[in-house]
Amino acid sequence: MAALGVLLAVAYLHPPEWVEAAIGIGAAAAALGTGRLDDGGLRTEVGRLLPVVLFLMAVLVVAECCRAAGMFSAIGTRLASAGGRTFVLAFVVASVVTVVLSLDATVVLLTPVVLAAAAATRVSARPLQLVCVRLANSASLLLPVSNLTNLLALPRLDIGFGRFALLMAPVWVLTLVIEYAVHRVWFRTELRVPGSGREGVSVVPLPRAPLVVVTAMLAGFGIGSMVGVEPAWVAGGAAIVLGTRAVFRGELGTCRLLRSTHASFALFVLGLGVVVATLGRGPLGDLLGDLVPSSDGVAALMAVALLGAVTANLVNNLPATLLLVPLVAPLGVVPALATLVGVNLGSSMTWSGSLANLLWRRTVLRSGGTVDSRDFHLVGLLATPVAIVGGVLLLDAWAQLV
């Protein structure tokens, strides 16, 4: 428990990379010192986590190469010239970026672009910047690659990439509808002011090569899952192609390219996984096991989703996923997906719920914006419970059909 507390503190403070990696390794060593996780258990956990962190490293390289190629700058010119459609366009872009490049790309790379576009128009920055962090969590339900929590859960599920997307698609659509409606109501005063596009701005074309590679990567995820190819290999191939292109064209230096892997964070996630696996074999795991229902009816689905949301806000969404999914997965695919609905959506209610929330807050402040905690928490309180309840009910009904 002390090791987990230290890791969560590191996530809040975001120290230098070498400190982050060293504490992750040290926390894992401390947990292993308890003897609760034997050599076989350690190999099993690392075997499950390693493909996930390798994928994370690869997709972060892909996102950085897209930024260096000018993709996000091109998006910014479209937002700046959209006028009254800026909010709608930002909503759509945040959803797509989250689905394709994961929620980290939305909070770290898209947020500054959205803030710059808001400064160039008459649209208030409050709804534009908040929609980035809201959709980073909410829109990450669709694909296994959209959120690290989904990837952590996927090895426990007996479904592939396409089946995951098929089951989650209606829940994703409903969640976006709820998010859009709540944002429109909450920010009705700001969004009532007609926007005006920035005069003289020229819309920059989206770079074709990154678009082609990212599209091929998405197709590769679906095809690869049918033949047993891990998403990490597909994302790694895309990262090599785009990384080589970026270095050859002078868009990125070799050092910057290597740093974009965020290897220290990968070690941190591995350490976190070992610590949580150790906790799962102790009293905390027993307590959560007692709380997990033994059936898979709609009431049980609602219970595991609620448990996921509460646990995510208490100990962060990554430990919550690592703790709960192994306990829920024996009940079936649908209860495990309901847990992800609770973990992913519930984590957007408090700052501590998701690392994406903390990264977004830091990004906004560094970009010269102002973080409004009242907007963050009250919009979360309005949208999240409705989305979780509606999403679980729709998941249950949809799963019975397909």
Given a cut of 80, is residue 273 above it in pLDDT? Answer: yes
Task: Please tell me the predicted confidence (pLDDT) of residue 97.
Answer: 94
pLDDT-based confidence at 96, cuts 50/70/90?
A: very high
- pLDDT one-digit tens code per residue, 126-181: 999 999 999 999 999 999 989 989 988 988 888 888 899 999 999 999 999 999 99
CB-side neighbour CA atoms (13 Å) of 33 = 8
pLDDT of residue 193: 66
Q: Please determine, for residue 77, whether its predicted confidence score (pLDDT) is greater than 80.
A: yes
Q: What is the mean pLDDT of residues 190-202?
A: 63
Mean pLDDT of 59-85: 87
CA neighbor of 349 nearest in space, from 384, 320, 314: 384
Q: Which pLDDT tens digit goes with each residue over 102-121? A: 898 999 899 999 988 888 77
Angle of helix 333-346 versus helix 317-328 axis, rounded to 10: 170
81, 143, 172, 219, 325 from 225: Cα distances, Å = 40, 12, 21, 10, 20
Q: pLDDT tens across 44-69, in order?
A: 888 888 888 898 899 889 999 999 99
Element (DSSP H or E) covering residue 359: helix 355-366
* pLDDT grade for 85, boundaries at 50, 70 and 90: confident
CA-to-CA dists, residue 282 to 151, 279, 312, 346, 350, angstroms: 24, 5, 19, 25, 27
Boundaries of every domain in the chain = 2-190+208-401
